[in-house]
Structure 1
Amino acid sequence: MRRMKIRSYAYTKGPDEIKFKDGSRWRHPYCAKNSYQLDMYEKVSQEAVEKAGIEMSDIDLIIVASAGMVQMIPCTAALLQERIAPNSGIPCMDVNTTCTSFITALDVASSFLVTELYQRILIVSGDLVSHFINPNQEESYRLFSDSGVAFIVETTKENKGILYSKQETWSEGAHTTEIRGGLTAYGPSLYSEDTKEDFLFDMDGKSVLMLTLDKLPKMLKETLQHNNIQLSDISKIVPHQASRALFIVERKLKLKKGQLINYFEELGNMVSGSVPYTLGLAMDQGEIKEGDLILLIGTAAGLTMNCMLIQL
């Protein structure tokens, strides 16, 4: 076990509710130049620090774990530090595995904590996805919500932490979810009315689902076998809230009723904010409690998949 405990957390979502036939989405109004993403990050970071009863100077490392950066350089964590801890020297880094970035960041953070390189780490996730979705692609346009989420994790001698983690990437799915434009493969100078959809999110949902249903059950089986447990031993499963396909995954895995936490109808797909927002909300609502054995699980662009078994 990589011993680690959650000290505090906070979350927020886009201010404007948009209703679709499959639920509510939460977004910011479009503005070509804005500070919405950093505004959300600053809010939840300050709230998490306040809830923890500490000062920002007690944070040893800031990790921003998101799909979308605020700008090309520097890292988004540095831009967040400028707001919440200027002149502090707190090291900063970004982690990006798109929708599963938070799980990957927990993996990285726990490894730092067990070596005692750092004692307390702030992880911030969530995306301003409303500015990158394509209104002409209904399949994906109706899925997404904006969010910001912060978790503070720290070292502990208690029997808490990460029991197991696994990440796989299946690059046959690399082009099933993508934004092609904006960086070196398709630079900003190529943007025009004719090419603008290359700078927006593009998804082949059916291909993503088929690859997920083929690969994810095998990954889950390996996770259970490695830890000598059954699905029934897991208190709650916290999935990336990708789409209504959660119901298909639930049936495919033959989960007991209520074991998989599903807030998709209420919140939509929050991209990197999805898993931590769901985790925080489930803890606040009493669905997840201290002492529970939980599984974080999700798929992301790449196609990347993550499983993480945590003893709370």
Structure 2
Amino acid sequence: MTIRARVAGVGHYLPERVVENAAFEATLDTTDEWIRSRTGIERRHIAAEGETTSMLAVAAARAALADAGVTADQIDAVLVATSTPDYTFPSVASMVQGELGATGALAFDVQAVCAGFVYALTTANALIVSGQSKRILVIGAETFSRLMDWTDRGTCVLFGDGAGALVLEAAEGTGTPEDRGILACDLHADGRHRELLYVDGGASTTGTTGHLRMQGNSVFRHAVEKLAESAHAALASIGLSGADIDWIVPHQANLRIISATAQRMQVPMERVVVTVQDHGNTSAASIPLALSVGRDRGQIKPGDLLVTEAIGGGLTWGAVVLRW
């Protein structure tokens, strides 16, 4: 018997405030057309004053729990992928655990920036496969608007706020790629490239939050190469290829990166879930957001083979293959 971590429920939450590209034209040397043509982004959601990452995470978690038909006291672990916690500590996960009333669950955050959800999903899979947990809430939640330098047109137009969540639960499988659940994971990091994408603040350096800084062209080159390689490696580990994929559900950073990665994987864009136009880059929240929206659209169906992949500051990157 093989134990698989199967998706039992999914949900998401987006702040009410929507900012269209045209809103930046009054304060920045940019236009709606410039942003669309270079990124594919048309709008993004921005958290309200006082609306924190943990609040977004709780809302997404409640939606996922309801979708799974389980209650918080049936959850063994809460993992939150985020780079924008409410506080230096405690973790967002512990705050979510307390707010939900999941008193029997362990809780911790995973920090791998935009690759955070892939890292968290891999960690949750390990907990379930090892028998340490039977049911886990895996959440990606971000308020990246709080890290923006609103005078930097190269970064502030790219990001948005939001949260997505999955309920993973242990299920018996046959040990073949036909099983539903997580089938393969592939994670990487290379700290030599940390200056390509970082925040220029922190508790042990400036004592301030800081702002996001990015060398966009360099990040783009690394992203296209590394994302395709990681996805191929994860698929190959279970004897599959891009031809077997029903959907790529990528990190929603930039439409050009998404398109170039799909092309390298020889997967047509018709089989790629794209939400970046409506949400912008929501960092660790983007994949679970896209999974939830893709399911709600009727794109993702039970039995579909999915590949999720992401790259973030660090650099950190990776891919997960799962059957829905």
TM-score in terms of structure 2 length: 0.86
Q: Partners in 2 of 1:45 and 1:217 — Cα distance?
A: 30
Where 2:277 maps in the other structure, the secondary structure is: helix
Name the structure 1 match of 2:261.
Answer: 249
Q: Partners in 2 of 1:257 and 1:212 — Cα distance?
A: 17
Cα distance 1:223–1:152, how it changes in 2: closer, same or farther (>3 A)? closer
Which segments of 5 or more consecutive residues in structure 2 lack a partner in the other structure?
A: 22-31, 37-41, 174-178
Q: Does 1:116 pair with 2:131?
A: yes
Name the structure 1 match of 2:303.
Answer: 291
Where 2:234 maps in the other structure, the secondary structure is: helix
- Select which of 74, 77, 81 maps to 1:58: 74
- Select which of 97, 103, 110 maps to 1:95: 110
TM-score in terms of structure 1 length: 0.89
Where 1:156 maps in the other structure, the secondary structure is: strand
RMSD of equivalent CA atoms: 1.9
The AA in structure 2 aligned to 1:236 is: W
- Deviation at residue 52 of structure 1 after TM alignment: 2.4
Cα distance 1:102–1:257, how it changes in 2: closer, same or farther (>3 A)? closer
Q: Does 1:165 pair with 2:165?
A: no
Q: Partners in 1 of 2:202 and 2:231 — Cα distance?
A: 35
User: What per-residue deviation string (whole Å, max 9, x for no partner) do you get for residues 246-290 of structure 1?
Assistant: 233333443224122222112211111101110111111111111
Which segments of 5 or more consecutive residues in structure 1 lack a partner in the other structure?
A: 189-197
Name the structure 2 match of 1:43.
Answer: 59
Name the structure 1 match of 2:156.
Answer: 141
Q: Partners in 2 of 1:223 and 1:91 — Cα distance?
A: 28
Q: Partners in 1 of 2:8 and 2:201 — Cα distance?
A: 39
Name the structure 2 match of 1:18.
Answer: 19
Name the structure 2 match of 1:5.
Answer: 6
The AA in structure 2 aligned to 1:162 is: I
Name the structure 2 match of 1:232.
Answer: 243
User: What per-residue deviation string (whole Å, max 9, x for no partner) do you get for residues 86-114 of structure 1?
Assistant: 7x242111111111211111111111112
- Select which of 202, 209, 212 maps to 1:182: 202
Where 2:230 maps in the other structure, the secondary structure is: helix
Q: Equivalent pairs: percent with the same residue? A: 22
Aligned residue pairs total 299
Q: Partners in 1 of 2:216 and 2:81 — Cα distance?
A: 23
Cα distance 1:237–1:287, how it changes in 2: closer, same or farther (>3 A)? same
Where 2:255 maps in the other structure, the secondary structure is: coil
Q: Partners in 1 of 2:204 and 2:229 — Cα distance?
A: 35
Cα distance 1:217–1:44, how it changes in 2: closer, same or farther (>3 A)? closer
* Residues 5 and 171, structure 2, Cα contact 8 Å, conserved in 1: yes
The AA in structure 1 aligned to 2:165 is: A
- Select which of 304, 312, 318 maps to 1:300: 312
The AA in structure 2 aligned to 1:292 is: D
Moved beyond 4 Å, runs of 4+: none
Q: Partners in 1 of 2:105 and 2:239 — Cα distance?
A: 40
- Select which of 276, 298, 309 maps to 2:321: 309
Q: Partners in 2 of 1:51 and 1:211 — Cα distance?
A: 36
Q: Partners in 1 of 2:131 and 2:237 — Cα distance?
A: 26
Q: Partners in 2 of 1:35 and 1:120 — Cα distance?
A: 28
User: What per-residue deviation string (whole Å, max 9, x for no partner) do you get for residues 226-251 of structure 1?
Assistant: 33322111111110011132233333
The AA in structure 2 aligned to 1:105 is: A
Q: Partners in 2 of 1:183 and 1:293 — Cα distance?
A: 41
* Residues 189 and 315, structure 2, Cα contact 8 Å, conserved in 1: yes
Name the structure 1 match of 2:292.
Answer: 280
Cα distance 1:219–1:41, how it changes in 2: closer, same or farther (>3 A)? closer
Cα distance 1:173–1:74, how it changes in 2: closer, same or farther (>3 A)? same
* Residues 240 and 299, structure 1, Cα contact 8 Å, conserved in 2: yes
Where 1:138 maps in the other structure, the secondary structure is: coil
The AA in structure 2 aligned to 1:65 is: A
